[in-house]
Structure 1
């Protein structure tokens, strides 16, 4: 429970600004909540937590919520007579005081930050806070302050209902027009950035991830949830808001597509947002830690397809004369489910062409170090236990056991030339040539394609007819 009560930002919500209004009815500046909690606990500890002692000051009673959970086994939550008197006597009496909002501040902060509907003391806190804020005198005080945006949260969205409050907030955010931002929603309700990090908001996020599949299949949902998932977007401090929810997050976005393909615009949006929020699942294992296998495999398959497509687009822009034949050959194996991973290594000109194809720089790649033609590039593909390296522009097709010592490791940022022209016992030419690599001969007649498919059938047991590997129109 410790993380519930780490010191909150000074401007956790605009309740802190309310004291500056002309009417003067507000919550005042936030204290260091951990320090206040410890001080409040000590005040009641000195009187043996007696609920009827007159020694603790009114301020100590007002600050009881901050001291409820200082640690899992330490806090006023273990002293039932004292907390019962706070909930049943002190707070109701505070409604008649001159400035009742001063009491509401501790209730609201602790409710949002310590949100835990499975805890019986928290449920008492929630019930007390709801009754307190729905009292006409408190609502009237809120309407007279800069914090009046909270009124909609408390009444219309009923955030102080621990069961339905997170659901109402989730539905309200998902129902926003696409052109509205979460920052605007936040401003409307007199909140600041700190609101998105509390446990109540985390629960609302989880509720939003449970939306029906037809909603989760929309591009609007994808963009909204990815906006919600990231904190401090575009800043050096950018990070996932709820790291422990990454599995539910990825699964919610990808599960509608486990058995079917999305429209290309939705797939592109999903890949862009997932790369931004979680990284590339093929090599950023920390970003996808704990995510279910089906979600990782779906995203990885899409990224493999995108990597291959980028390679073939580079060939088109750099005028590789057999580019359409390469595309048809490898895409046939991919669509049959046999290509498990793909990575590209690029020469200088090929990098320039990729930047034209992918101006946002979303697609990762490796650079080739060493003396090669600047337009050359390599498509690296893993099928079963074999890694294929297909060199462009009169280069050869090479193969090696993917776990061999000489095999290049996928997803590196750069490769020395010798790493991609490795010694290998896997020979396309049956020892008839000095080089085991396959020259791309007679593409129009299926020459190299037939040799390669027999090699694949021999070593991997994958059988595809030559007709499936030949383009119907080489100009496509």
Structure 2
């Protein structure tokens, strides 16, 4: 007897053991990351599969129907995104009520998480099928539903899962460990995400901030994006709409948000408008203070100019009183080079959050543009005069432009909206009278 014959003659061993598929799940995810956009493609298009299945149901002949085709039809039918004839839908429902085929049940479980709908009869029916056919589920779903039976509650699954998520320091990894392969995907997880945010206390400590950040920035996975990410940002910033956080909390928040989603002042225009304006202004206000401090460091490094420290002290004092809403920096060529060197040395992205100052006759001038109430303030290094514009003035510079020409922005000497910096501090009193009246 050959080895092949011997193997064929052996009695098959049946087991209900639940296999640990974590290594396989990790390997599959690694493949999907390495080859984004590549998926198993059926030999037939979806329309062809549905048409062939309709014909098979009518003739009650399924010789040319593959298991994978039926699984594809199950996902199409119960996702409610493709129109399926009643005869095919009824056939699939009848098969799923009694099937023990793990491929069909795999497709049904995926549909359940992806298209869960509160109060929908179909959602309740799928939950019942999964429970009735629990012994025939693929091992990964057996493990998942055993660990998280609340998933199969067709009425309150998101809230029940969210309450368990609240107790975890890393909700994303916790869900992964219990068999949810994509915690950021699908309607059931989206609703759980919303319920989780609502149930969390206001994040006022570094640890509470990090708990939410762990969900937004899961290790080894892409960051959360779109509306769900915007809701997380709002949750993180909600405590600070009217008060200032401790420096360690502010630093943790700014570092995480800016590194992941960019500067809300001039980057990621597809993302930041999803965050409500009051919450977005919190980040912009914090970045204004960072920009002002960065400018002092850059000018000190670049020019050793003695004129800037008193100006920085004055404007930073107004900022600390909550009077400066926004601030932006435009650097001269030499200052840009110093800022780049400082970024390379420190890794602090604040040194890259600048524009170019391109005037030919004032090559060494750096500019600080601020919004203070209804005014736009233009301040500059060296002997550049202070300018205060009403924000409706067409001559007022816009914040966050790529380039500024200091000479083109300069008003004539003696203009009522400008003031020369003097050694006795009269310019500070002039500025306060104009801005704070």
Aligned twin of 1:41: 50
Equivalent runs, 1:18-417 vs 2, <5 Å = 31-32=40-41, 38-46=47-55, 54-56=60-62, 59=67, 64-69=73-78, 72=81, 74-75=83-84, 81-82=90-91, 84-88=93-97, 90-91=98-99, 94=100, 100-133=101-134, 135=135, 138=137, 142=139, 147=140, 151-158=142-149, 159-162=151-154, 165-167=157-159, 188=177, 196-214=184-202, 216-229=203-216, 241-284=224-267, 285-317=269-301, 318-355=303-340, 356=342, 359-362=347-350, 364-371=353-360, 376-417=365-406
Using CA pairs below 8 Å that are at least 6 residues apart, which structure has the higher relative contact order? 1
Report the Cα distance in structure 2 between the residues aligned to 1:16 and 1:278, rounded to whole angstroms: 26
Query: Mind listing any 5+ residue stretches in structure 1 that lack a counterpart?
Result: 1-10, 19-29, 95-99, 429-436, 457-461, 464-476
Report the Cα distance in structure 2 between the residues aligned to 1:345 and 1:166, rounded to whole angstroms: 48
Report the Cα distance in structure 2 between the residues aligned to 1:310 and 1:87, rounded to whole angstroms: 64
Aligned twin of 1:451: 430
> Per-residue CA shift, 1:202-245, capped at 9, x if unaligned?
3333233224224x3333443453454369989xxx6x644233
How has the CA–CA distance of structure 1 residues 15 and 447 changed in structure 2, closer, same or farther, with 3 Å as cutoff?
closer
1:258 is displaced (CA, Å) by 1.9
Report the Cα distance in structure 1 between the residues aligned to 2:401 and 2:163, rounded to whole angstroms: 42
Larger displacement relative to structure 2 (417-426 or 250-259): 417-426
1:345 is displaced (CA, Å) by 0.9
How has the CA–CA distance of structure 1 residues 295 and 104 changed in structure 2, closer, same or farther, with 3 Å as cutoff?
same
Aligned twin of 2:13: none
Report the Cα distance in structure 1 between the residues aligned to 2:234 and 2:404, rounded to whole angstroms: 34
Query: Mind listing any 5+ residue stretches in structure 2 that lack a counterpart?
Result: 1-20, 29-38
**TM-score, length-scaled by structure 2:** 0.74
How has the CA–CA distance of structure 1 residues 294 and 455 changed in structure 2, closer, same or farther, with 3 Å as cutoff?
closer
The count of corresponding residues between Structure 1 and Structure 2 is 397
Asked if structure 2 preserves the Cα contact closer than 8 Å seen for 1:368 and 1:415, the reply is yes
Asked if structure 2 preserves the Cα contact closer than 8 Å seen for 1:366 and 1:412, the reply is yes
Report the Cα distance in structure 2 between the residues aligned to 1:35 and 1:221, rounded to whole angstroms: 49
Report the Cα distance in structure 2 between the residues aligned to 1:232 and 1:77, rounded to whole angstroms: 44
Asked if structure 2 preserves the Cα contact closer than 8 Å seen for 1:246 and 1:288, the reply is no
Secondary structure of the residue aligned to 1:395 is: coil
Report the Cα distance in structure 2 between the residues aligned to 1:128 and 1:345, rounded to whole angstroms: 63
Aligned twin of 2:9: none
Asked if structure 2 preserves the Cα contact closer than 8 Å seen for 1:13 and 1:191, the reply is no
How has the CA–CA distance of structure 1 residues 404 and 17 changed in structure 2, closer, same or farther, with 3 Å as cutoff?
closer
Asked if structure 1 preserves the Cα contact closer than 8 Å seen for 2:79 and 2:111, the reply is no
Report the Cα distance in structure 1 between the residues aligned to 2:232 and 2:90, rounded to whole angstroms: 41
Pairing 1:442–2:423 present? yes
How has the CA–CA distance of structure 1 residues 328 and 368 changed in structure 2, closer, same or farther, with 3 Å as cutoff?
same
Asked if structure 2 preserves the Cα contact closer than 8 Å seen for 1:14 and 1:191, the reply is no
1:254 is displaced (CA, Å) by 0.9
Secondary structure of the residue aligned to 1:210 is: helix
Report the Cα distance in structure 2 between the residues aligned to 1:288 and 1:77, rounded to whole angstroms: 44
1:257 is displaced (CA, Å) by 1.7
How has the CA–CA distance of structure 1 residues 346 and 325 changed in structure 2, closer, same or farther, with 3 Å as cutoff?
same
Asked if structure 1 preserves the Cα contact closer than 8 Å seen for 2:326 and 2:371, the reply is yes
> Per-residue CA shift, 1:167-215, capped at 9, x if unaligned?
566566665557xx95x667745676x664333333333233224224x
Larger displacement relative to structure 2 (289-298 or 30-39): 30-39
1:292 is displaced (CA, Å) by 2.1
Of Structure 1 and Structure 2, which has the larger fraction of its residues in helix? 2
Asked if structure 1 preserves the Cα contact closer than 8 Å seen for 2:237 and 2:282, the reply is yes
Asked if structure 2 preserves the Cα contact closer than 8 Å seen for 1:368 and 1:417, the reply is yes
Q: RMSD of aligned C-alpha atoms? A: 4.1
